[in-house]
Copies of this chain bind each other. A is one copy, B any other.
Amino acid sequence: MNAFDFLTKDRIRPSGEGVTMMLDKGMGPNMVEDFLEISGNYVDLAKFGWGTSAVHERELIKYKIDTYISNNVVPYPGGTLFEQAYITNKFNEFLKEAQELGFGAIEISDGTVDISAVERSDIIGMVKDAGFMVLTEVGKKDPAKDHLLSPGDRVKLVEQDLESGADKVIIEAREGGKDLGIYNGKGEVKEEDMQILIDALDVNQLIWEAPQKNQQTYMILKFGPNVNLGNIAPEEVTALETMRRGLRGDTLGKVSF
């Protein structure tokens, strides 16, 4: 039972909605346990950011993965690690290692490298066949390259990934949340661009990377408390849950669930 349980209620979440994806960029094992003890109920996916898994000891990574899984959080390696495997022709070894370590999902992205549409679709299929949850990401990590993608391009890429079998598609914003995808250089939502995406797509199949508080507030007020959000810093997970439930000034009295 929670403290002050009469001041809120459990957030009812239709399957696949209200997802919180957290960014673990190298937390120590004790910090993960301590964090999950208090906030574990409010995280669904834990991304081991970009290639961080590859600089940590195998046994520690396994230990962290086990800790997440025993708290019902699905851990997965960042898309950049997949990209590194792809350009070094080690995709099969990558997939095997991810399986042995116990990761529950794989992210397929082309944030830095180029991958043809056909190949991307094949890869999604292979990851799915291997038994993983498949997350894909749309967007480039370099703002100059990302700006070449129109909102219409992004819609098409999302649709292709979903057709290929992706479980969710992540809209790229990186750890910073600026000058990429739906955000301008100040981190504000480019409303016209976003409108094109949401007119064409089912918002429940997307995960918006929204590392900044103003972005999280915007999404909750626009789509409701069960919008799927990603790249949440561990220390912001509790704060996000309170915003989803109207327990912070920004959303108090403005959400229902």
Return the CB mask of A214-257 against B: 1 if under 8 Å, else 0: 00000000000000000000011111011001111110110000
Given A26-B235, A49-B239, A252-B113, answer yes or no on A37-B60 (Cβ-Cβ < 8 Å): yes
Give A2-16 interface residues, CB cut-off 8 Å to B.
2-8
A39 interface residue (CB < 8 Å to B): yes
Residue pair A58, B8 in contact (C-beta under 8 Å): no
Residue among B31, B34, B53, B239 making CB contact with A4, cutoff 8 Å: B53
The A interface, classified by DSSP as helix, strand, loop or mixed, is helix
Residue pair B54, A4 in contact (C-beta under 8 Å): yes
The smallest C-beta distance from A139 to any residue of chain B, in angstroms, reads: 11
Residue pair A112, B253 in contact (C-beta under 8 Å): yes
Docked complex Cα distance between A125 and B111 (Å): 51
A119 interface residue (CB < 8 Å to B): no
Place the interface of chain A in its size category: 35 or more
A101 interface residue (CB < 8 Å to B): yes
Residue pair B7, A85 in contact (C-beta under 8 Å): yes
Q: Residues of A at under 8 Å CB distance from B? A: 1-8, 25-31, 33-35, 37-39, 42, 49-58, 60-62, 77, 80-81, 83-85, 87-88, 90, 93-94, 97, 101, 111-113, 141-142, 174, 176, 213, 235-239, 241-242, 245-250, 252-253
